[in-house]
Amino acid sequence: MPKKTVKRTFRISKYIIYRETFVDYKEYFWSFLGAFMGIGIIAYIQSHYLLEVENIFLIGSFGASSVLVYGAINSPMAQPRNLLGGHLISALIGVSVAKWIPDIVWIEAPLAVALSILAMQFTKTLHPPGGATALIAIIGTSKIQELGYYYALSPVLSGALILYLSALVFNNLTKHRSYPLKKR
């Protein structure tokens, strides 16, 4: 194999196998601070204002949403419509599947996730953590199961709103960051 072909193959494979995302070091600080505060507010409310019995305000999919709304703020999937709509639609679908399908997790879980992806695509609200939100409605604790459709309002919509509002504050504190994306 000629040397020129090897170099070109290496260069192409370098971009296919690993392509580093370049982020300014200042962005790391603001991503950390935003995520810390957003999740911190939700956790504070859970630990100080909810009774021990209803203590389910903080759900796992909010961690993934934080990666998007604080760490990848320019992603279309991090925008408010996607954050709020994706979580809400997925929660409603997850609860509906849990209520309508018999207690067969190997049918419920994939159906809830697949239907939520489809609904988010149709409504242009694709937000990857929404799939986890739908799944939590199926496999979550008995406290989550007991909430029924209220799960879509709290913890899901109220928590997503807290993430959104804190993202508005922390992502716009400097001139280098702007959230949400401005329409072009």
Query: What is the value of pTM for the model shown?
Result: 0.85
2 prior amide bond cis, ω within 30 = no
Summarize the confidence of residues 15-29 as an average pLDDT: 68
Q: What is the domain count for the chain?
A: 1
39 part of a folded domain: yes
Long-range contacts at 180-183 (CB < 8 A, ≥ 24 apart): 180/79, 180/80, 181/73, 181/74, 181/76, 181/79
**Alpha carbon separation from 142 to 47, 63, 93, 135, 145 (Å, rounded):** 19, 21, 18, 14, 5
122-156 pLDDT, tens digit each: 999 999 999 999 999 999 988 899 999 999 999 99
Across the chain, mean pLDDT equals 88
Is residue 5 scored above 80 in pLDDT?
A: no
The residue range of the domain holding 136 is: 25-170
Confidence (pLDDT) at 91: 98
Contact 160, 149 (CB under 8 A): no
Residues 153-173 pLDDT 10s? 999 999 999 999 999 999 999
pLDDT at 113 over 70: yes
Structure token pair of residue 21: 């995302």
pLDDT number for residue 56: 77
Residue with tokens 């996730």: 113
